[in-house]
């Protein structure tokens, strides 16, 4: 596991020293993060780098995964969708099951930490399962700017009990809440397997291993199979692109236990893209493999992120870091990362023609693609590396527990 020293060369002595300095008052404190999956999706991705670094710097930091049942994850996925604006049939039974799974988990998860950090809505009710003896922080990773009202009323009952809410964007929690709010940006780990430098030899080896030919430029979206990531829309866009440029589309989306809709959406995409799949012009991948993600982000001519909602969009950050140009929806956290026309293109999420047009532009103009890629990396370097996220957490913990 990398220690803080592994980042010195990337972020510089001064930044590393400032981290050690910030951590001094927190030495020996005991912190716990709780979320609902150890793999699949951005939260697990960040925690797997952040938690070891917090320990390395001297804060005893644990990470627990809420043990959900399939019906629990069905409900929490519906909640997730409704928090991003869809309808939900909020029955008494759903509310009870949501609370019950949290209650059960609390029986064997003992909390005597100095601070508890809860990620996303699945473990949100845990706060009512313990005598509250320390600050509790709710880190909301999704776009909460327009939540379903009934659901929000229900969840507010838990949220009110927290000491602080963290979100990725100021606009996400606009409703009145008597709880301190802070904005904290997600981040990527530059030395992880997913983001580290790879040799051309490794890239070629992995493309071969996963059966991805390199005779045509690759256009790739890396995202869970989820309606909000609009894989259907990406195929519509690709159909327009290939009328002008011969290219290949890769949709890479691993499955996650807390997202039970994945296979359903995958099946829909498969039937929609049947002909293209048979000709090999569209490739679907469902295996979880960090090197493959790294390889795809480095070897694609264009990375697409056609989300309809997006809390932040770590896949965009990862591609920018690798100097690969990105065409993405102008929503959620994506405009925090891309300045349209400078280090990528931003397009209205429903503008199929606009997406196709920008992808074609980049496929036809490699020097523009290269220039945009170069600028993309600079933005990530400055704002979205894991060391900066560590600094943000140190500041938050300092304000809550010292």
Q: Which spans of this chain sit near ligand UDP (rule: CB under 6 A)?
A: 41-42, 45, 194, 222-224, 252-254, 288, 290, 293, 312-315, 318
The crossing angle, in degrees rounded to 10, of helices 366-383 and 314-321 is 110
Minimum separation from the CB atom of position 209 to ligand UDP (A)? 15
Return the number of the residue (135 or 260) whose C-beta is nearest ligand UDP. 260
Return the number of the residue (22 or 224) whose C-beta is nearest ligand UDP. 224
Return the number of the residue (109 or 387) whose C-beta is nearest ligand UDP. 387
Minimum separation from the CB atom of position 254 to ligand UDP (A)? 4
Return the number of the residue (106 or 300) whose C-beta is nearest ligand UDP. 300
Minimum separation from the CB atom of position 291 to ligand UDP (A)? 10
Minimum separation from the CB atom of position 315 to ligand UDP (A)? 4
CA nearest neighbour of 309 among 375, 241, 224, 185: 224
Give the other-Cβ count within 10 Å of 176's Cβ. 6
Minimum separation from the CB atom of position 44 to ligand UDP (A)? 8
Say which residues have a Cβ less than 8 Å from residue 274's Cβ, sequence separation at least 6.
none
Minimum separation from the CB atom of position 305 to ligand UDP (A)? 7
What DSSP line would sit under 67-104, residue for residue? ---HHHHHHHHHHHHHHTT------HHHHHHHHHHHHH
DSSP designation for 188: B
Return the number of the residue (150 or 209) whose C-beta is nearest ligand UDP. 209
Minimum separation from the CB atom of position 188 to ligand UDP (A)? 7
- The residue number with the shortest CB distance to ligand UDP is 42
Minimum separation from the CB atom of position 228 to ligand UDP (A)? 7
Structure tokens at 342: 């400078």
Question: Is 257 buried (19+), middle (13-18) or exposed (0-12) by CB count in 10 A?
Answer: middle
Query: Are the beta carbons of 70 and 131 closer than 8 angstroms?
Result: no
Return the number of the residue (312 or 355) whose C-beta is nearest ligand UDP. 312
Q: Which uninterrupted H or E stretch holds 200?
A: helix 200-209
Give the other-Cβ count within 10 Å of 61's Cβ. 24
Return the number of the residue (106 or 228) whose C-beta is nearest ligand UDP. 228
Q: How far apart are CA 329 and CA 305, in angstroms?
A: 6
DSSP helix/strand/coil, 147: coil
């Amino acid at each position: 596991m990398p220690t803080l020293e592994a980042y010195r060369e990337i972020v510089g002595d001064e930044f590393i020293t400032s981290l050690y300095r910030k951590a001094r008052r927190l030495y020996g404190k005991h912190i716990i993060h709780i979320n609902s999956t150890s793999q699949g999706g951005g939260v697990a991705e960040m925690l797997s780098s952040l938690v070891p670094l917090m320990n390395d710097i001297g804060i005893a930091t644990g990470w627990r995964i809420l043990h959900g049942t399939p019906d629990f994850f069905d409900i929490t996925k519906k909640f997730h969708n409704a928090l991003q604006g869809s309808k939900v049939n909020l029955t008494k039974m759903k509310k009870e099951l949501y609370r019950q799974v949290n209650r059960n988990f609390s029986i064997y998860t003992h909390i005597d930490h100095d601070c508890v950090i809860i990620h996303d809505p699945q473990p949100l009710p845990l706060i009512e399962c313990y005598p509250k003896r320390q600050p509790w922080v709710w880190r909301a990773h999704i776009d909460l700017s327009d939540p379903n009202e009934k659901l929000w009323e229900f969840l507010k009952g838990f949220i009110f009990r927290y000491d602080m809410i963290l979100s990725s964007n100021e606009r996400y929690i606009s409703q009145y809440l008597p709880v301190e709010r802070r904005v904290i940006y997600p981040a990527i780990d530059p030395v992880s397997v997913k983001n580290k430098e790879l040799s051309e030899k490794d890239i070629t080896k992995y493309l071969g291993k996963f059966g991805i030919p390199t005779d045509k430029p690759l256009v790739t979206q890396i995202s869970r199979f989820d309606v909000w990531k609009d894989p259907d829309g990406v195929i519509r866009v690709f159909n327009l692109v290939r009328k002008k440029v011969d290219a290949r589309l890769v949709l890479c989306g691993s499955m996650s236990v807390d997202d039970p809709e994945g296979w359903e959406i995958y099946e829909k995409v498969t039937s929609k893209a049947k002909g293209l799949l048979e000709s090999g012009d569209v490739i679907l991948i469902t295996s979880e493999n960090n090197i493959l993600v790294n390889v795809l982000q480095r070897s694609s001519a264009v990375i697409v992120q056609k989300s309809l909602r997006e809390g932040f969009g770590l896949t965009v950050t990862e591609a920018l870091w690798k100097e690969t140009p990105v065409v993405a929806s102008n929503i959620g956290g994506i405009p925090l990362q891309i300045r349209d026309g400078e280090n990528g293109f931003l397009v209205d999420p429903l503008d199929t023609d606009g997406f196709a047009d920008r992808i074609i532009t980049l496929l036809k103009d490699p020097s523009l693609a290269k220039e945009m890629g170069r600028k993309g990396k600079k933005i990530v370097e400055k704002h979205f590396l894991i060391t900066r996220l560590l600094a943000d957490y140190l500041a938050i913990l300092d304000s809550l527990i010292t």
